[in-house]
Amino acid sequence: MTLTEEDVKRSLQLALDKGAEIGIPISVAITDAAGHLLGFSRHVGAEIVSITLAQDKAYTAAVNRISTAELGKLCQPGAELYGLQHNLGGRMVIFGGGIPIRGTDGVLIGAIGVSGGTVEQDIACALAALDSLPN
């Protein structure tokens, strides 16, 4: 299974809709399983830094095959992946908002990254987009 162009467009819009619903301007990115950008969108007024963070959250979730929130727990001092966030030219993001996308068979097919709100708001927007995908 792979993400279709329609899947990507629909998911981007659902994340943006959720951001508007909760009153935060966001940026949202979707990658393929290798972390390559498939789609990106943002609200007018979204923080400039959210552009890069959304893309890097999606990339991080894809290449590590784990949510950025879960990865953050593994990167704490004394944890098994401590220091990982300093690799790959600073692209690793270890706080919530990046979530892997898995197909119906459980295989990784991409990832979504959202930035612009609190960690909880970013996760909520990403999850709203994931609900539209077959799983």
pLDDT tens readout for residues 121-134? 999 999 999 987 76
Range of the domain at 107: 5-130
71 in any annotated domain: yes
22 in any annotated domain: yes
Q: What is the pTM of this model?
A: 0.94
Closest CA to 99 of 91, 88, 110, 90: 110
DSSP state of 98: E
Number of domains in the chain: 1
Residue 90 has pLDDT above 90, yes or no: no
Closest CA to 110 of 52, 27, 34, 11: 34
110 in any annotated domain: yes
Residue 88 has pLDDT above 90, yes or no: no
Local confidence band at 51 (pLDDT 50, 70, 90 cut-offs): very high
Tokens 């995908």 correspond to 133
99 in any annotated domain: yes
